[in-house]
Structure 1
Amino acid sequence: MVDKGTEMRNKYISRNSKFDYLPDNDRYLTLVEQPKYKFNIIGCGNMGLEHMRVTMLEGRASIHGVFDPNPKSFKLAKKQFSELSTEHTLVEYETLEMACNDRDVDGLIICTPNYTHIDIIKEAIKSGKHILLEKPMTTTLEDAHHIVQLAKKYKAVFQIGLQYRYKAIYEEAIHEALKRKALGDIKTVSIMEHRVPFLDKVKQWNKFSKYSGGTLVEKCCHYFDLMNLFAQAKPVQVYASGGMAVNFKEFEYGKEKSDIIDNAFVTVLYDNGVRTNFNLCMFSPLFYEELVICGDGGRLKASENEDFLSAGRPRNHLEVMLGEGKPSKITTPCYPKHIEESGHGGGTYYEHVYFVDNIEGKNTSTATVEEGFWSVVVGIAAEQSLKQGKAISVEEMLKEYGLLTYA
């Protein structure tokens, strides 16, 4: 049996254009694996195009068609697809129903604006096809709860796109903190994201909380998923402070003023006593993420940096400090360059690896629909805390929405 490392290496070789002169019957290491599955993409903006690239790179599936009401999005998707594959012409569906119910298709990748997820899922779930739903799963607790209920009865794969847990630094942090238990019992978790402002979207939906769920839901659900994962417990209290300090203060679209925040501090207390905090700044001239976990046996720090400078330094960093008890380590976790550059530091690639693995019945660490729900819970509680200027009891908030069974 070919080991996973060899598979990945051969996959890279098979896509090297300098071997294109070889006839098919003379290929071995350069043999291109034929896709087993066909996926449709619903929504082909930036994330839809990323999912297209990664699907074709991963290789076990291909993109069959797309649905997007914006003609320019389809035009760009068609252009990108023609550069990735010559096997067939990308299908353009006239309606969502047609895209969801094409009998030739095995799975649906949904990456439309956040506020549309609930209605699209209601249609997609009728198909019985495998579903990969981008984060956040919804913008409201009621809709998130509704999706959880739908997913419980769903026989096919229903995966939530919380792929940051597959970035190299977080993959290694999960191994050290949760599998190896190098830090002992985890007591505190701190995460930082400093980055450039929200990018442009069709109709600028991400500049308005009513469409995005708010910055702490839209962007930060990734980090709340990681905080929940490392805490290994349910959140009980959330306190946030923040505001609109720099970005989009004068921005208007359709005579509406932007209302999203660009900075925040969020503290979350868990029912096992673990304390966590999140530090967000969205007017920083770089992309920087940092994770610090402290346990009763050691401390872990991981970071990822993209600063656009010519001065060379490692993109990723991880250190595990264990004092005099065990060996400490300082490492540079990374994936092959072509995987890291395919999107979100390689996280999207492995999200697709595990999506196909899930379809094939293998055990994976993908985010469950329940975990997607709790990442939204923390985000919505943080948004409420910021607006109300007080700590939010998760139990009381869920009770307000008639969802006390989740507390």
Structure 2
Amino acid sequence: MARLNYGIIGCGMMGQEHLRNIALLQDATAAAILEPDPVMRKAAAEAAPGAVMAGSIAELLAVKAVNCLLIASPNYLHLRQLEEIAAIRPLPVLVEKPLFTAPEDTLRLAALRAAYPAPIWVAMEYRYMPPVASMIDEAETATGGIRMLTIREHRFPFLQKIGDWNRLNRKTGGTLVEKCCHFFDLMRHILRSDPVRVMASGGQSVNHLDEVYGGERSDIWDNAYVIIDFASGARAMLELCMFAEGSRYQEEISAIGPTGKIECHVPGPGRFWPKHLGEPPVAQVIVSPRDPKGPKMVEIPVDPKLLAAGDHNGSTFYQHQRFQRAVLGVQPVEVTLEDGWWAVAMGIAAQESAVTGKAVDLASVRYGVP
């Protein structure tokens, strides 16, 4: 297998997780790194001592060994950096979510999509969590065709990021874009259908209420309900609470159809599990048929090395494996620019619905054409 020599743009918290997972891959290395923050730059240099430390995207792309890219910078930089790469040296890219942060970005995204000659994979790690992937594989058989899908995330508040960029809606796109585009992507992926209508209620109730950054008060939301109707006739709901870190499981997903229900329970990062409670919980998948009744639970353990490498139940590693195969032409890109567009469009619509108190019709309000 040919070697992947990553050029990495952004080595904050998520970029460091990517670095650790790239180190676990066969035939892959970090060849060059762009990280302006001195603390994160030092940590990245220690994690990848062979990497060239670049001062700009142009410098990074000038490193001849680099043959693919990872973008893990703050949200509002993603599209701008993709455009700069396209103008200099368009290599295969794995770009962190969200792909963009505002409706006015969509014309630029459409132009990029039409002209970019190499694969672009949008990082949606939740698809590749082993319990979620197992649930998706079994869902059609277990349910007889999903009619209702619920995703519940009860978790800790937003973590501290470099420059506190994740405390302001204008830099993140808002919580329902920044945090929840993962879940909206999962909904489309699981239901194999596009959304047509979004209804939401959300706000900032507990976290960051008195925080001010550069004269701007933090306005990032910490809870929401979102209901989405899909073209297939299925409906889905997201329940988000970011002041519920005492929960045993961080994500709980259930899918229900005429013949039964399937659920998965996913624990949060092991580093946050209280030591006095013993070992962290193990992910589960539960199938509950209607007839004959009798739920069946299977634990889905994750390789401890992968758990230690990041906060996403091993999914970052599995995502990189697939990206590697896509770069080599062995398989297609699984999370496309269109998928990334839809995930953000659903988040923008949910933010709009919660602010206005009105349902948003995605059939007429397209936020650009995917």
Which of 127, 131, 135 is 1:165 aligned to?
Answer: 127
* 2:337 paired with 1:366: no
Distance 1:351 1:120, change over 3 A: same
Q: Is the contact between residue 100 and residue 108 of structure 1 (CA under 8 Å) also seen in structure 2?
A: no
Q: Is the contact between residue 273 and residue 280 of structure 2 (CA under 8 Å) also seen in structure 1?
A: no
Which of 166, 185, 198 is 1:238 aligned to?
Answer: 198
Which of 308, 312, 319 is 2:273 aligned to?
Answer: 308
Aligned to 2:36: 69
Which of 81, 84, 102 is 1:123 aligned to?
Answer: 84
> For the residues of structure 2 that align with 1:139 and 1:335, how far apart are their CA atoms?
32
Q: Is the contact between residue 145 and residue 373 of structure 1 (CA under 8 Å) also seen in structure 2?
A: no
> For the residues of structure 1 that align with 2:90 and 2:215, how far apart are their CA atoms?
41
> For the residues of structure 1 that align with 2:244 and 2:198, how far apart are their CA atoms?
25
- Describe the superposition over 1:75-108 as per-residue Cα deviations: whole angstroms up to 9, x where unpaired: 11112224xxxxx3x2111222111342221011
Scaled by the length of structure 1, the TM-score of the pair is 0.84
* 2:164 paired with 1:197: no
Aligned to 2:61: 100
- The share of aligned pairs that are identical, in percent, is 34
Which of 352, 357, 361 is 1:389 aligned to?
Answer: 357
Distance 1:302 1:365, change over 3 A: farther
Higher relative contact order (CA 8 A, sep 6+): 2
Aligned to 2:251: 289
* 2:224 paired with 1:264: yes
Q: Is the contact between residue 266 and residue 278 of structure 1 (CA under 8 Å) also seen in structure 2?
A: yes
Mind listing any 5+ residue stretches in structure 1 that lack a counterpart?
A: 1-33, 83-87
> For the residues of structure 2 that align with 1:205 and 1:353, how far apart are their CA atoms?
30
> For the residues of structure 1 that align with 2:191 and 2:197, how far apart are their CA atoms?
13
Shift of 1:192: 0.4
Aligned to 1:378: 346
> For the residues of structure 2 that align with 1:158 and 1:248, how far apart are their CA atoms?
34
Distance 1:323 1:372, change over 3 A: same
Higher deviation after alignment, 117-126 or 362-371: 362-371
User: Structure 2 matches for 1:41-190, cutoff 5 A?
Assistant: 41-82=8-49, 88=50, 90-126=51-87, 127-178=89-140, 181-190=141-150
> For the residues of structure 2 that align with 1:326 and 1:362, how far apart are their CA atoms?
43
Matched to 2:356, the amino acid is: Q
Scaled by the length of structure 2, the TM-score of the pair is 0.92
Deviation beyond 6 Å, 4+ runs, structure 1 = none
Higher deviation after alignment, 141-150 or 355-364: 141-150
Matched to 2:37, the amino acid is: N
Aligned to 1:20: none
Superposition CA RMSD, Å: 1.9
Shift of 1:35: 7.3
Provide the secondary structure at the position in 2 that maps to 1:345: coil
- How many pairs does the alignment contain? 361
> For the residues of structure 1 that align with 2:95 and 2:106, how far apart are their CA atoms?
12
Mind listing any 5+ residue stretches in structure 2 that lack a counterpart?
A: none
Provide the secondary structure at the position in 2 that maps to 1:57: coil
Q: Is the contact between residue 157 and residue 359 of structure 1 (CA under 8 Å) also seen in structure 2?
A: yes
> For the residues of structure 2 that align with 1:114 and 1:241, how far apart are their CA atoms?
23
Shift of 1:328: 5.8
Q: Is the contact between residue 6 and residue 70 of structure 2 (CA under 8 Å) also seen in structure 1?
A: yes
